[in-house]
Chain A
Amino acid sequence: MPGTISFRNVFISTDVICVKFFGPYVFAGVGGILKIFELLTKTCVKEVEVFKGHKIYGIEPGEKNLIIIFGSKSVRVFKFSHAQTEIQMSCVASISLEDWVLTAHWLSDDTQISLVTAHNVIWLWSWSENDKTELMRAGCSEKCILYSATVCGKDWESCVVFAGTVFREVVIWLPSGSGMCDQPVLHRLVGHNGVIFSLTWDWQTSSLCSTSDDRSIRLWEFSFPHKSDWQSSTVTCSNVFYGHSARVWRSIMFENFIVSVGEDNQICVWSRNGNLLQSINRSTSGCQWSVDCSAKHQLMVTGAGDGSIQLLPPPSPRAVPTAITGPFPEDLLRLIDSPCVRKLAFLSSGVIVAATEDGTILRGDSISTPWEIVCKDVRFSNYCVLSVAPSRTKFSIASLRGEVILYQCTAKDGKEWTLEQQLEDGKIWSLLWLSDQEILVCGDEGRLRVWQISPEQGVNMKCIGQFTLPRSRERWPTCGRLLTKNSQNFLLCGDRCGSLHLFSLSGFSQAEVQFSAPDHSLPKLHGKLGVTSVMKHHGKIFSTGRDGSVKMLAVNSDPPQLLLLSTDKMVMDWVCSVITLPSDNKNFLIVGFKEMNMIVWSTSERRTILQIDCGGGHRSWDCMVSSKENLELTYVREKQIYYSSRALETLMKPTLQCGISPRELNSVSILPLVPSGLLFGGEDGTLYVCKFSGDISTLVSRATLTSHISSVRCICVQDNFFFSAGGRAQLKAWQIEHGSDEEISCVELASHMLKGERHPRSPPSIDPEMRYMSLCCIPSTESNSVVQLISGCSDGAMRWLTFDSFNKTFQVVSESMFHTKCVLKLLTVPLNQGKVALISSATDGMIALWDILPEMFTSNSGREPIWSSRCHQSGVNSLHAQVLPTSKASTILVASGGDDNSVVLTALTLGDKEVSMIAQWSNSSAHAAQVTGVWLVGAWLLSTSIDQRLTVWRWKLELEGSTHLTCDFVSQTICSVPDVQDMQIWRDKDFISVCVVGKGVQIVQIPLKPEL
């Protein structure tokens, strides 16, 4: 019986096209669902399905807690109420128009709403709760398609329509002119060079703001010789704002600012006179579709293409650090020969220690306490290495002749003391604090010593390890940390040449003369410009470098080994350090430089929270988060010391909803070894490892792997390995480690590019532009260090590959050009007795069945399918199969979905000698667009398509007597994810879960009926 199946939507993440502040809440449209977030708790307190089958495009709060919600051709009026803790949203009126609604506007009588639709028509909708609605229409003489419109005015008589046409103009007209005929255009605003995507009117300033395809924002100012008389009004374009590097979707006028958001992932804050005050780049969240500001809460909110909803600080003028003018008072200056500051660092909040050219060490407060000379020593003139301990209670200076002075600034007992010791004979190239008790000192020829500081005052430091850095041009370390793994101690340090070295610290005796070489190194890990920092944070090791990246590493103790886990490319040219946050142990701040700017980036919001024009990275600087949670910065520029302190809470704001991917997801797979683990591969070249928790309906990101150079089109999983491949003929192997407390780490084992490799039987040239379209692993029963893979490629080849997990290498064994056309999908089907069949499909509608023999992976023997047939007219985008329990030979039921709208079921019997097709069923109008997912589960067949429908069918194969295959439509639902590319289904106790991916992710659960 059709329609008896219920579909339960349990998770949705897709473009957030509108966000709005409403009282102490943020309203956001996610697909057709309205989500209400409470600002106090930052959690979603209510979800209402407003529309089925289309998205919410606008939310307009009015008087008396009434809210208009519109999207596509529908408009609804809701009444908001809350009794105690329960929020109610009741729909009090609704209407469906014949055309796309671009804007909705409350008139002063709250039973009247004006609406503008896409063919430049305005409607007056008089609604009432008892369904008595009236609709009045007014048209304009300019009839064309609009991309945007807005309305201003208190009532129908004084209403004005602003309409953005495809012809790059804004036309302004009054709906209530004379007669019933089309109204003339009053003003025509010309200037934009592209489609107009949004219009915003502001009464306070009598101005209109337009945003466009031409990447600009225009501000139009109106003047009225006669109060509110539009007929006599004049308009001028007062400013054009260029700053976005892609299309500008929306703008709002807020206080004296204009805020715009666009396709370039940016939120720009402008002064009305055209200066860009601030630009917030949410690079990993994609298009910024929507924005709103609240004066009351001093907040901004934005909705993005990755499904994220992010709170942001309100628009504000650009932050300028204060120059500590004339840092040194006159009386001090007399004592200093050369007051030019060479190096500086923070000792505590606001307290700076500085070394001048002549070797004077000064300490001062940026605000109140006067500067004082700590020491003035000729041995430290012209050359002085100044470094501060992690706790900032100690600092050190080191000289050209090997002398080191330690300063304990504020000991527990409040005493200050110093310690001087000769640590090298010659120049100290670098001195790094490994902890508050250990320093690393580098002498000539890369000689390294770790010194331990006694807690007792006046006791000399003791050497606890000595090493040598590999020979290089600039042979000294730039950063170091001590680590413990399996109760063994290690020194990890990075050098000027971008390499990381691991040294074992155990078993050192004072009599040692040997300077041991690294136990393991990762040469040039950060390119050739140098490693800038290494740090440990909650069990994870990070390194940063002048290659603009942050890398996550792991250490193995036996044998000592450094492993690269992942690389995160930052928005800066140089990444310099990682700063932990006192009240957040999951996230941290990353400091770096881009061009002339110092940049502070937050890992929780994945954006720059502070950007200061300091002149660039070649200078002394320091940055810290104080105990009062202020972000403090200091740097030297043109001999001046600059200082800035900003409360973190004014720079960072909570995320209301996390996003997934800014672009389309191409594939999804479950991770069998990770409970509720899902792996996604995206058009943005990123792999996302997530966990789905059904009870709270959220998808939590566990790892984001960004190293592919082009899109990821296909993934496949085998035990704790997974493989990803896609554009530019790139293929990667990963290992997933599932540690304690939910931690997942993924290690990139190998990366392979087909370019250059040639095989005797391969086509004339392998093209680096080739894309891997599909990938599958051959399941093996015995545990084997070699994984066998088959790939389908866009050059028409299928390639047999092996991955040796021990040597971490891929090898292309052989290939088949059977398909000749772009191969789209591959699927392995385990048969009985460990045999494996493979099904392949291509853009010409062909489906082939292959017998996979072990020798195919060792020799380049002949490769022909055992059966093939043209099952579709064009591309076969999806495949699934099920082995049927029949008495005789194995029977495989193959489901396929094509570009030709059709779903086909083919029953194949595998005999000893030959394969025969015993039955076939097809429905050529199963969907209205490309079928991109099919799945057989029990007696059900599920299919999905670019038409956003998810259909359940029931199939039946009769083998007794004449073979007969039938399949009937059971039920259908509509998904909120556009451009569906892949589907994954898994079975739980009493329901199945369906995950569809495309421009977003949706998970639907279908309760299992007894009949399945």
Chain B
Amino acid sequence: MGKTSKDKRDVYYRLAKEEGWRARSAFKLMQIDDEFKLLEGVKNVVDLCAAPGSWSQVLAKRLLKDGSDNAKIVAVDLQAMAPLKGVIQLQGDITQVSTANAIIDHFKGESADLVICDGAPDVTGLHEMDEYIQAQLLLAALNITTHILKPGGSFLAKIFRGKDITLLYSQLKIFFPIVTVTKPLSSRNSSIESFVVCQNYSPPADYIPNMSNPLLDHKYTDWNQLTGSNRVIVPFLACGDLSAYDSDTNYPLELEGRQPYQYRPPVQSPISPPYEESVQLKKSKGLGKCVDPASSSDEIIKSAEETVNKLNLNSE
């Protein structure tokens, strides 16, 4: 298949390259913001699960107008991320206490106006498990959020609308009176990915944020049944201007009202995938043969005392 075939299949993939976004996800945040005005008046924002960084790019573009440092953007991801001007970057797992503490440290005294999380786990293909892990990622993000979000603030997170999504809705409803599920035009119709927009943060009066225990999702109850007419389903709002491109539609390479088409390489080359070594071995016909563990990459066995500090602070 030609190198333009992905450009043909996915208009946003191609637009992202043309406009210099590191990922097509940038359009999702912009379309959600256009609808919900989440970035209006925001000074402090946390971007969880930020790599490769297109949401951070959108934040920087929309919040740091005229190059001033009138907003603080903290971006966190498991993966390392190329530096971005005006964005403080942390590398870490958002389900781990240490990561949460590092973020909280950055906001010493202050609180955030908005927390966004576009996290997605390694999907296994077992929908039930993927949905659960996605929910745990969201709840970890919510847990961090309860420490740093100012009352009245907003939380935006990616969800998988699947079998047990109502359990997550009922959990979110405890912290936010207004919960809406939204799908930007740049998310595919067929995808289970959607976003929850949670507004007006109002934790229960007796709620004490606690990072040492994870927030867990709810169980089915009488008011949120497994099956039946009592299920917690939050309102849905499609977002994205109707005149915007639709991600399921195939568009010709020559788009009306745009510059003539020209192939462009991706803005950000992909981060090294976990299977890199396996692919390397396949090329050298080394699969199925005995591998000396000492020769394979960074093989270290650490004892408990040498806990590694996985938080590399590389702000810019």
Chain A interface residues (CB < 8 Å from chain B):
2-3, 15, 17, 52-55, 57, 72-73, 96, 98-100, 118-119, 142-145, 147, 165-168, 184-195, 197, 212-216, 218, 235-247, 249, 263, 268, 273-276, 279, 287, 289, 305, 763-765, 767-771, 794-796, 820-822, 824, 843-845, 873-875, 877, 899-902, 924-925, 927-930, 946-949, 969, 972-974, 978-979, 999
- Binary A-proximity of B116-130 (CB < 8 A = 1, otherwise 0): 000001101111110
State whether A946 touches B183 (Cβ < 8 A).
no
Interface status of B265 (Cβ within 8 A of chain A): no
Which single member of B189, B249, B293 contacts A874 (CB below 8 Å)? B189
Report B220 CB to chain A, min CB distance, Å: 8
Report A259 CB to chain B, min CB distance, Å: 14
* Complex Cα gap A949–B161 (Å): 13
State whether A979 touches B127 (Cβ < 8 A).
yes
Q: For residue A763, which residues in chain B have a CB less than 8 angstroms away from its CB?
A: 252
* Complex Cα gap A266–B88 (Å): 44
Which single member of B97, B249, B253, B304 contacts A187 (CB below 8 Å)? B304
State whether A145 touches B289 (Cβ < 8 A).
no
Q: For residue B162, which residues in chain A have a CB less than 8 angstroms away from its CB?
A: 929, 946-948, 978
Q: For residue B249, which residues in chain A have a CB less than 8 angstroms away from its CB?
A: 794-796, 820-822, 843
State whether A242 touches B136 (Cβ < 8 A).
no
* Complex Cα gap A874–B163 (Å): 20
* Complex Cα gap A925–B161 (Å): 13
* Complex Cα gap A215–B124 (Å): 13
Q: For residue B226, which residues in chain A have a CB less than 8 angstroms away from its CB?
A: 52-53, 974
State whether B248 touches A822 (Cβ < 8 A).
yes
- CB-nearest residue of chain A to B136: A145
A193-B274, A194-B122, A843-B189 known; A275 vs B290 contact (CB < 8 Å): yes
State whether B192 touches A929 (Cβ < 8 A).
yes
Q: A190-B298, A276-B287, A794-B249 are in contact. List 13 more A-B contacts (CB 8 A).
A: A2-B228, A72-B128, A185-B307, A190-B299, A213-B122, A236-B293, A239-B293, A795-B250, A824-B189, A844-B242, A875-B248, A899-B183, A974-B227
- CB-nearest residue of chain B to A213: B274
State whether A72 touches B165 (Cβ < 8 A).
no
Q: Which of B280-315 contact A (CB under 8 A)?
A: 281-282, 286-291, 293, 296-304, 307, 310
Q: For residue B227, which residues in chain A have a CB less than 8 angstroms away from its CB?
A: 53, 949, 972-974
> Which secondary structure characterizes the binding site on chain B?
loop
* Complex Cα gap A194–B212 (Å): 25
Which single member of A96, A240, A246 contacts B293 (CB below 8 Å)? A240
State whether B296 touches A191 (Cβ < 8 A).
yes
A100-B132, A821-B249 known; A899 vs B189 contact (CB < 8 Å): yes
Interface status of B275 (Cβ within 8 A of chain A): yes
* Complex Cα gap A947–B137 (Å): 20
Chain A to chain B contacts (Cβ below 8 Å), 7 pairs: A2-B229, A54-B163, A72-B128, A100-B132, A118-B133, A769-B9, A947-B165
* Complex Cα gap A873–B235 (Å): 12
Interface status of B70 (Cβ within 8 A of chain A): no
- CB-nearest residue of chain B to A142: B96
Q: For residue B78, which residues in chain A have a CB less than 8 angstroms away from its CB?
A: 166-167
Interface status of B166 (Cβ within 8 A of chain A): yes
Q: For residue A821, which residues in chain B have a CB less than 8 angstroms away from its CB?
A: 246, 248-249
Which single member of A214, A239, A768, A973 contacts B275 (CB below 8 Å)? A214
Report B229 CB to chain A, min CB distance, Å: 5
State whether B303 touches A188 (Cβ < 8 A).
yes
Which single member of B125, B219, B278, B304 contacts A185 (CB below 8 Å)? B304
Interface status of B102 (Cβ within 8 A of chain A): no
Q: For residue B132, which residues in chain A have a CB less than 8 angstroms away from its CB?
A: 72, 100, 118
* Complex Cα gap A992–B275 (Å): 48
Q: Which of B100-125 contact A (CB under 8 A)?
A: 121-122, 124-125
State whether B288 touches A242 (Cβ < 8 A).
yes
The 5 closest A-B pairs by CB, nearest first: A194-B274, A276-B288, A274-B290, A978-B127, A875-B189
* Complex Cα gap A941–B126 (Å): 30
State whether A946 touches B214 (Cβ < 8 A).
no
* Complex Cα gap A53–B293 (Å): 43
Q: For residue B69, which residues in chain A have a CB less than 8 angstroms away from its CB?
A: none
State whether B128 touches A55 (Cβ < 8 A).
yes
Report A277 CB to chain B, min CB distance, Å: 9
* Complex Cα gap A287–B123 (Å): 14
Report A774 CB to chain B, min CB distance, Å: 12
Interface status of B174 (Cβ within 8 A of chain A): no
State whether B300 touches A190 (Cβ < 8 A).
yes
Interface status of B34 (Cβ within 8 A of chain A): no
Interface status of B150 (Cβ within 8 A of chain A): no
State whether A925 touches B299 (Cβ < 8 A).
no
Q: Which of B223-280 contact A (CB under 8 A)?
A: 226-229, 231, 233-238, 242, 246, 248-254, 274-278
State whether A144 touches B189 (Cβ < 8 A).
no
* Complex Cα gap A978–B163 (Å): 8
Interface centre among B9, B121, B163, B185 (most CB of A within 10 A): B163
* Complex Cα gap A55–B162 (Å): 14
Report A600 CB to chain B, min CB distance, Å: 20
A929-B192, A946-B192 known; A969 vs B229 contact (CB < 8 Å): yes
A242-B281, A925-B233, A949-B227 known; A215 vs B275 contact (CB < 8 Å): yes
Report B29 CB to chain A, min CB distance, Å: 18
Interface status of B216 (Cβ within 8 A of chain A): yes
Q: For residue A928, which residues in chain B have a CB less than 8 angstroms away from its CB?
A: 161, 165-166, 169, 231, 233
- CB-nearest residue of chain B to A875: B189
State whether B303 touches A214 (Cβ < 8 A).
no
Q: For residue B212, which residues in chain A have a CB less than 8 angstroms away from its CB?
A: 143
- Binary A-proximity of B45-81 (CB < 8 A = 1, otherwise 0): 0000000000000000000000000000000001000
Report B3 CB to chain A, min CB distance, Å: 13
A242-B281, A767-B252 known; A947 vs B163 contact (CB < 8 Å): yes
State whether B250 touches A770 (Cβ < 8 A).
yes
* Complex Cα gap A80–B56 (Å): 56
- Binary A-proximity of B141-158 (CB < 8 A = 1, otherwise 0): 000000000000000000
Q: For residue B304, which residues in chain A have a CB less than 8 angstroms away from its CB?
A: 184-188
Report A194 CB to chain B, min CB distance, Å: 3
Interface status of B95 (Cβ within 8 A of chain A): yes
Interface centre among A186, A279, A978 (most CB of B within 10 A): A978
Q: For residue A54, which residues in chain B have a CB less than 8 angstroms away from its CB?
A: 128, 163
Report A793 CB to chain B, min CB distance, Å: 8
* Complex Cα gap A978–B137 (Å): 21
State whether B274 touches A214 (Cβ < 8 A).
yes
Q: For residue A143, which residues in chain B have a CB less than 8 angstroms away from its CB?
A: 95-97, 212-214
Q: For residue A305, which residues in chain B have a CB less than 8 angstroms away from its CB?
A: 125
State whether B307 touches A218 (Cβ < 8 A).
no
* Complex Cα gap A828–B36 (Å): 39
Interface status of B8 (Cβ within 8 A of chain A): yes
- CB-nearest residue of chain B to A263: B125
State whether B293 touches A243 (Cβ < 8 A).
no
Q: For residue B236, which residues in chain A have a CB less than 8 angstroms away from its CB?
A: 873, 900-902, 924-925
State whether A241 touches B291 (Cβ < 8 A).
yes
Which single member of B122, B229, B237, B290 contacts A239 (CB below 8 Å)? B290
Report B266 CB to chain A, min CB distance, Å: 18
State whether A166 touches B93 (Cβ < 8 A).
yes
* Complex Cα gap A377–B71 (Å): 97
* Complex Cα gap A186–B274 (Å): 26
Which single member of B161, B219, B234, B307 contacts A947 (CB below 8 Å)? B161
Report B191 CB to chain A, min CB distance, Å: 9
Interface status of B5 (Cβ within 8 A of chain A): yes
Interface centre among A237, A824, A845, A874 (most CB of B within 10 A): A874
Q: For residue B216, which residues in chain A have a CB less than 8 angstroms away from its CB?
A: 98-99, 119
- CB-nearest residue of chain B to A96: B219
* Complex Cα gap A931–B96 (Å): 36
State whether B275 touches A874 (Cβ < 8 A).
no
State whether A929 touches B165 (Cβ < 8 A).
yes
Q: For residue A249, which residues in chain B have a CB less than 8 angstroms away from its CB?
A: 124
- CB-nearest residue of chain A to B133: A145
* Complex Cα gap A930–B236 (Å): 11
